[in-house]
Amino acid sequence: MAFNKILVPTDGSEYTKPAVRQALEVAKLSGAEVTALYVLDQTVLTNMPMDTAVMNVYKTLEKEGQEAVDFVLNLAKEMGVKADVSVKEGTPVKVILEESAKYDLIVMGTLGRTGMSKLLMGSVAERVVRAASCPVLVVRSSEGSQ
């Protein structure tokens, strides 16, 4: 199977960096193009009143997203891999699954969720593996192993 288009969901955490590196390695070997996907997670915002605190959270998420995709772009450039960026709003699982039909492979880490958000969301990677329209390579992070 040829991989021409690879999707790399990232949240910028240390947990996703090994997956980013792996995706770029696969892309380099197969001549594929990589898309770094950052999802502005609306579930974080849904239970808050729309005021300045929410706007600050939103700005923080946007900044986090920019840093996450910049990491991918900079590493891709270093490795000579063609990469672009997609920033979408929604819940990570839903957005990744919607995007999966456009790609030959998804390479993802176990997104760096901790505490309550991990408890509420379950494993994003696990849910993507079960329902994606293309193959999914999950890269475990040594930071993420318990």
**Structure-block tokens of residue 98:** 């919607």
Mean pLDDT for the chain overall: 84
Residue 107 and residue 139 in contact, taking contact as beta carbons nearer than 8 Å: yes
Give pLDDT, residue 125.
84
Closest CA to 108 of 86, 88, 135: 135
> pLDDT tens digits for 51-99?
666 677 778 778 888 899 999 999 999 999 999 999 898 888 999 999 9
Which has more pLDDT, 41 or 104?
104
141 or 85, which is more confident:
85
pLDDT > 90: what percent of the chain? 48
Helix (H) or strand (E) holding 64: helix 52-79
Residue 3 pLDDT greater than 80, yes or no: yes
What local confidence, expressed as pLDDT, does residue 145 receive?
Answer: 41
Domains and CATH numbers, the chain: 5-139 (3.40.50.12370)
Residue 32 and residue 104: Cα distance in Å, rounded?
9
